[in-house]
Amino acid sequence: MTTATLQTQATTRSADGARALLVAAFLGLGLVFVAGFAPATVLHNAAHDFRHAQNFPCH
């Protein structure tokens, strides 16, 4: 293995990690928003007891 391949691998890995980080953060924030914050009444009513129990500010 040459230094060049090692470098390419390292770059690919960190780009891969950055992508995974963005996907995880974006999906995570989206799901937490839906469960804990979404103002739609239907979502609020469905998640009501969870929001109270997990101390999300609720109605």
Partner 1 sequence: MIARLLSAALVAGFLASVVATGLQLALTSPLILQAETYEGEGAHAALAPFLDAAPDAPFAALIVPAHAHAHGEGGHDHGKAEEWQPAPGLQRMAFTGLATLVGGVGYALLLAAVMLALRREPTPQSGLVVGIAGFLAVALAPAIGLPPELPGMGAAPLVLRQSWWLMTVIATGLGLYLIAVRRVPLTILGGLVLIVAPHLAGAPQSVDTVSSQVPPAAAAQFAARSLAIGFVFWAVIGLAYGWAWGLFGREAGTRANA
Q: Which residues contact 19 (CB under 8 A, 6 or more apart)?
A: none
Between residue 30 and residue 49, which ones bind partner 1 under the rule CB under 8 A? 30-37, 41-42, 45-49
* Cα distance between residue 9 and residue 19, in whole Å: 15
Handedness of CA 12, 14, 17, 22 (dihedral sign): negative
* Number of shown-chain residues binding partner 1 (CB under 8 A): 37
The verdict on 19 binding partner 1 (CB under 8 A) reads yes
Residue 11 CB, nearest approach to partner 1 (Å) = 14
Residues in contact with partner 1 by the rule CB under 8 A:
13, 16-17, 19-21, 23-25, 27-37, 41-42, 45-59
